[in-house]
Chain A
Amino acid sequence: MALEIRNLTKQYNKHKTGLSNYSITIERGILGLLGPNGAGKSTLMKIIATISKPTTGTLFLDGEDIVKNPDNIRKILGYLPQDFGVYPNLNAYEFLEYIAALKGVGGPDLRKRIDMLLDGVNLTADAKRPIGTYSGGMKQRIGIAQALLNDPKVLIFDEPTVGLDPEERVRFRQLISDLANDCIIILSSHIVSDIEAIADEVAIMQNGALLEKGTQPDIVKLVEGKVFETILDSQQLNDLKARHLVIDTSRQKDQTRARYITRNHEPEAGSVAVNATLEDAYLFLTHTKA
């Protein structure tokens, strides 16, 4: 199974471009999308989810044009948008039955499937309450359950861990990993550690363009040998910022520990080389390749 995106452009108006000549091939497994706000992640996901049409470009799923025939992917799509809502007067059962109808899922075992999904996201006890009374995390969990109703082969999660507490995030990552064997999962997040923990491949985006795509080791390799840590005072920190890309700082009494990436391979005196991470690579790419 492969999703082939070729030269996709989304032009909202003269001054606003969502995606610019974007090409990528997504295969079975988890693709993590990283990028700052406005990078085009949500635009890309909306186009794949068929709720937004590209201005130009093509999108094929196993050779089928899903821009022209969106219903082909809709049958096997699970989508969790970033800012979704619910009908507050419906309870969890009714809501999932409704979403099942949307997805064309029925049959005698539907109730059992809904029961198991609700159990899986730990909402059985509250399943008969109106969803309008749910907390943010509970709504997010019902969003996850609805995405799985139709046994999807393409799963799109836009900022899925927003509203989940740390324990829920870990569970969610586990769930995603379990699903990845059988389908294409596209996952966007601002939390690099979420992507780092589960993504097979990572695509880094900025200003509607793809900066880099590859496996995590491939991406991290881009900054290997360039990441250092040093301890300095506030004046030295300003000088460091002028010369290098400072990734992180933490105060230690009167001094500051700084993690930075060299732009010219010449580390500051007294610096210690450290292992590069996905976050280092992401920040490096978005600051140097724009």
Chain B
Amino acid sequence: MKYIYSIIKADYLQRTRSYSFLITLAITIYAAYSFVPPPTASYTTLNVVGYKGIYNSAWVGHVSAMMTTIMLSLYGFFLINGGIKKDVDTGIGQIIATTPITNFGYLLSKFLSNFFVLLTISVLTFLISIVMFFVRTSGSPFIIGDFILPFVFFAIPALFTVSALAIVAEVFLGRKLILQYIIFFFLFGALMANVVGHKSSTINTFIDTFGVNTMTNSVKDKVNTQYHEHIDAVNLGFTFSKKHRFKTFEWDGISWTGVFIASRLMWICIAFGLVYFSSFSFHRFDFKQASGKKKKAMAPANISHTNGTFAAGINVSLLPPVVTDYSIFPFVKTELLLLIRKGPKWFWLVNGGLWISMLFVKFDIAYSYLLPILLFLQVTRWSELATKEVTNRLHYFTWSSYKPLQRMLPSQLLAAFIMAVALALPVILRSAAAGSVYSVVNIINGAAFVVLLAASLGIVTGGKKLFEILFFFFTYLITQKMPLADYLGALPHDSPIGLISIMLMLNVFLGAVSFSVRSWQVRHL
């Protein structure tokens, strides 16, 4: 057991000692603050069509726990995903494979390390929820149980489940990151479908991974009873509305029934079960056995490196004279090649299918669903845009080259922008054909935003995770018709010019961050 503890500790420290994690914590603090909006805010995080709860311990505690559970389940997967891959990349895996640790022991330690990373974030939001209670209320009694119990019963089982799903994804889909993301995207949508709109019943309680169905039903019942309504819908998550006047009701929390607690324990057991069954298929870092076909091509033994040494050597005086050419086009070409070759070839069939679909489906579907999804499917291409030099240890060459800042970074941005615009071309052409100049500008702005966000976050954090998490959020929220995340201008807005200006300013800001930080980095290796 001691060695499992040691692996968990090392893995946890490795993941949390990064700029990316620090920035995630900072964003979490802001998110937790926003879970309890002021009365004058233009959004709510939970309302029952025209009604919202009075801020008391129960409301603040439950809503904060509910929002933490859902948000952390959504982006937590991206945050913790890759624990096994890291061991593969660093070569640690091969050392681990030679130790007596069992497959289950190893996966269990990775699973628990995943869980503790997420737990750290949820503890932070828990503490902030208490602070927010005192900020937003006056005179309402503080009941600590109203904060602790929802976090325990909502968040912990959900975090165990997400931690286990990350393990399952890595064991069964290995390095097929994008496939993992797509599957999780749809799986999360399916899990969310159980949260709202289902009547109270034992079966519905058990199938709700997040455990908040019981809460939404309780809130709904309270309104229907108090105001003699027959409301069947609850707005959960950041719901923006111009309507500032809600009728209020006092809600005292939910009663933690035996069935509810059993359902939460069931999800914890499912999580452990998933890890246990995954251990039977775990490759234990034996890739020839796990994916013989691919690794066969990678094996150096298959390479025909003549006799393996220098041949006649290099006679420098016979080399053709050097002709200088400081244009950036060769870079753009190579960057485009790297973008295109990233990921499996068959994935271009999916991209092609979506691209063609965008020409023929209803314009609204193409613009607000297919385009953001198509751009998201390229997430691993964007996320390594400005990090791949360092991760591939090529920055020694690029940063010591002639005018790296003026030539390299613009080439990377330009290549990615060309690809993003090419992917969006069907919607751009349809918008242009319909005479919608705003849409054309919005899409181009949005394409630039994706590229600049990926580059700036990659440069600042040195990693890919933060961008991948944020981009997943943006995509998910656009498909949920959330205007705040609408970087493509796909949803109706009060002021199209306003959106264009905001996105333009954001792009300029992200560009400035990218260039200024990279400018420092190229001289401070």
Does B309 lie within 8 Å of A171, measured CB to CB?
yes
Q: Which residue of B lies closest to A166 (CB)?
A: B309
Is B400 an interface residue, CB under 8 A from the partner?
A: yes
Closest beta carbon of chain B to A117's beta carbon, Å: 6
The CA-CA distance from A49 to B145 in the complex, in Å, is 61
A6 at interface by CB-CB < 8 Å:
no
Contacting A171 at CB < 8 Å: which of B310, B326, B522?
B310
B324 touches A71 (CB 8 A): no
A residues near B494, Cβ cutoff 8 Å: none
Q: Which of A107, A138, A171, A179 contacts B325 (CB 8 A)?
A: A107
Residue contact A71 to B403, C-beta cutoff 8 Å: yes
Q: Is the CB of A106 within 8 A of B327?
A: yes
A87 and B523 within 8 A (CB): no
Which A residues, 99 to 127, have Cβ-Cβ distances below 8 Å to chain B?
A: 99-110, 112-113, 116-117, 119-123, 125-126
Whether A87 pairs with B323 at a CB distance below 8 angstroms is: no
Instruction: Report the separation of the CA atoms of residues A53 and B305 in the bound assembly, to the nearest whole angstrom.
Output: 39
Is A109 a contact of B321 with CB atoms below 8 Å?
yes
Residue of A97, A100, A106 contacting most chain B CB atoms (<10 Å): A106
Rounded to whole angstroms, the CA-CA distance of A167 and B331 in the bound complex is: 35
Q: Evaluate contact between B397 and A123: CB separation under 8 angstroms.
A: no
Counting CB contacts under 8 A, is A32 at the interface? no
Contact indicator B310/A101 (Cβ below 8 Å): no
In the bound complex, residues from chain A placing their C-beta under 8 Å from that of B342 are 89
A79 to B254 CA separation, bound complex (whole angstroms): 67
**Is A94 close to B, CB under 8 A?**
yes
Q: Please, which residues of chain A bring their CB within 8 A of the CB of B397?
A: 79, 81, 84, 99, 102, 146
Complex: chain B residue closest to A167, CB-CB: B309
Bound Cα distance A20, B158 (Å):
54
CB distance from A245 to the nearest CB of B (A): 36
Assembled-state Cα–Cα distance A116/B321 (Å): 12
Take A79-B396, A133-B297, A175-B314 as given contacts and tell me if A98 and B305 are in contact as well, using a CB distance cutoff of 8 Å: no
Chain A residue nearest to B318 (CB atoms) is: A116
Q: Is B312 an interface residue (CB 8 A)?
A: yes
Number of interface residues of A (CB under 8 A): 70
B304: which A residues are within 8 A, CB to CB? 125-126
The listed residue (B325, B337, B396, B522) touching A105 by CB distance below 8 A is B325
B167 CB to closest chain A CB, in angstroms?
A: 26
Give CA–CA (A146, B330) in the complex, Å.
16
Residue among B297, B307, B310, B408 having the largest count of chain A Cβ atoms under 10 Å:
B310
- Decide yes or no whether A275 CB sits under 8 A from chain B: no
Residue of A nearest to B401 (CB): A102
Selected from A106, A109, A125, A172, the residue in CB contact (under 8 A) with B305 is A125
Contact A120 B394 (CB under 8 A): no
A100 to B402, CA, bound (A): 11
Whether the Cβ atoms of A151 and B319 lie closer than 8 Å is yes
A62 at the B interface (CB under 8 A):
no
Chain B residues near A85 (CB-CB < 8 A): 392-394
Name the one of B300, B303, B306, B408 contacting A122, with C-beta atoms under 8 angstroms.
B306
Q: Answer whether A165 and B308 are a contact pair too, CB < 8 Å, given A74-B401, A120-B314.
A: yes
C-alpha spacing A153/B408, complex, angstroms: 23
Those of A154-195 within 8 Å (CB) of chain B: 165, 167-168, 171-172, 174-175, 178-179, 182
B306 touching A74, Cβ below 8 Å: no
Q: Is the Cβ of A137 less than 8 Å from the Cβ of B308?
A: yes
B330–A84 CB distance below 8 A: no
Fill in one digit per residue for A41-83: 1 if any B CB lies within 8 Å of its CB, else 0: 0000010011111000000000000000011001101010101
In the assembled complex, A226 has its CB within 8 A of some CB on chain B: no
State the Cβ distance, B333 to closest chain A Cβ, in Å. Answer: 8
Q: Determine whether the beta carbon of B319 is less than 8 Å from that of A117.
A: yes
> Would you call B433 an interface residue if the criterion is a C-beta within 8 Å of the partner chain's C-beta atoms?
no
Partner of A84, one of B338, B394, B401: B394
In the complex, A46 Cα to B237 Cα: how many Å? 51
B255 within 8 A of A: no
Measured CB to CB, the nearest residue on chain B to A123 is B305
Which A residues lie within 8 Å of B326 (CB)? 104
Digit string of A138-153 for contact with B (CB within 8 Å is 1, else 0)?
Answer: 1001000110101100
Closest-by-CB residue of A relative to B307 is A122
Q: Within the assembled complex, what's the spacing in Å between the Cα atoms of A182 and B316? A: 10
CA distance A185 to B117 in the complex (A): 48
Name the residue among A100, A101, A108, A121 with the largest chain B CB count within 10 angstroms: A101
Bound: A122/B312 CA distance, A = 8
Interface string of B381-395 (1 = CB under 8 A from A): 000000010001111
Query: With A51-B400, A138-B305 known to touch, is A104 a contact of B319 (CB < 8 Å)?
Result: no
A and B contact pairs by CB, cutoff 8 A, 7 listed: A75-B324, A98-B334, A120-B315, A122-B307, A125-B305, A133-B298, A168-B308
Nearest 6 pairs between A and B by C-beta? A106-B325, A107-B323, A85-B393, A120-B314, A101-B330, A109-B320
